[in-house]
Amino acid sequence: MRKIELRPLPDPKPGVGQLVIIGGNVTGEGMSVDIQRNQDEHFLQANGVWGSHPFKFQLPELQTDSDGNQTAVVDKQIVDPLLENPHATNMARFYGPDGAELGRARVKLARDLISSGALGSTPSLEASATLNTPEPPTAPPTPEPPTEPTTVEAGPEVTAAEPEPQLESKTGSRRWLWVALAILLLVIIVGVAAWFVLASRDDEPSENETAQELQQEAEASEPEESTENEAAADNTSVEATEPRPAENAPVLAVAPCSLQRMDEQKELEFIQACTAADGETAAMTLDVIDEALANEHCSIARRLYAHEALNGDIEAALGYARQFDPEQHSPSTCFPAPDAETAIFWYETAQGIDSDNTEARQRLEALQE
**Res 362 pLDDT > 80:** yes
Residue 171: band (very low, low, confident or very high) from pLDDT cuts 50, 70, 90 = low
**Res 112 pLDDT > 90:** no
Domain boundary assignment for the chain: 3-112, 118-141+168-200, 219-367
Give CA–CA dist 279/275, Å, rounded.
10
From 8, 9, 82, select the one nearest 48 (Cα to Cα): 82
**Res 65 pLDDT > 60:** yes
Domains 3-112 and 219-367 are alike in CATH topology: no
Distances 252 to 231, 266, 294 between C-alpha atoms, Å:
18, 19, 18
Name the CA radius of gyration of the chain, rounded: 33
pLDDT of residue 285: 83
**Res 135 pLDDT > 80:** no
Ranking 140-144, 178-182, 237-241, 286-290 by mean pLDDT, the lowest is 237-241
**Res 167 pLDDT > 50:** no
Peptide bond into 10 cis (omega under 30): no
Residue range 141-159, pLDDT digits in tens = 555 555 444 444 444 443 4
Residue 254: band (very low, low, confident or very high) from pLDDT cuts 50, 70, 90 = low
Segment 192-198 mean pLDDT: 74
Residue 272: band (very low, low, confident or very high) from pLDDT cuts 50, 70, 90 = confident
Answer whether 304's CB lies under 8 Å from 289's CB: yes
Give CA–CA dist 196/121, Å, rounded.
9
DSSP per-residue string spanning 249-290 = PPGGGGSTTSHHHHHHS-HHHHHHHHHT-TT--HHHHHHHHH
Segment 12-35 mean pLDDT: 85
The CATH number of domain 219-367, selected from 1.25.40, 2.60.120, 1.10.3470, 3.60.15: 1.25.40
**Res 322 pLDDT > 90:** yes
C-beta atoms surrounding 216 within 10 Å: 17
For the entire predicted model, the pTM comes to 0.42
Q: Does 2.60.40 match the CATH number of domain 3-112? A: yes
